[in-house]
Structure 1
């Protein structure tokens, strides 16, 4: 059986590493770009604020 507590700890450790930070930053940027494209750039300021807030909660 999978130990989800241990799995969560490992995911947090990865997100807090330099490599994890690069991965999460890249994923957040792709999501930012997709949202911007989908809205025609109309809400870029709000999308950027959301990406910045999410980045502050994930990783280092």
Structure 2
């Protein structure tokens, strides 16, 4: 987990999200690129806010 650039929002890496959803990093990146997963790129890495992850996880668990 990382604090997203001078905010109180904590974020998860692509690796962390992939592990929690039992998906591959490639799949998570594909969803980021398509806009299904909102993410922010900081440097060379993508981060997903915990708030957005909770929404994604809730949808993932109901499908």
Compute the TM-score of the two structures, normalised by the length of structure 1.
0.33
Where is the strand percentage greater, Structure 1 or Structure 2? 2
Greater C-alpha radius of gyration? 1
Where is the helix percentage greater, Structure 1 or Structure 2? 1
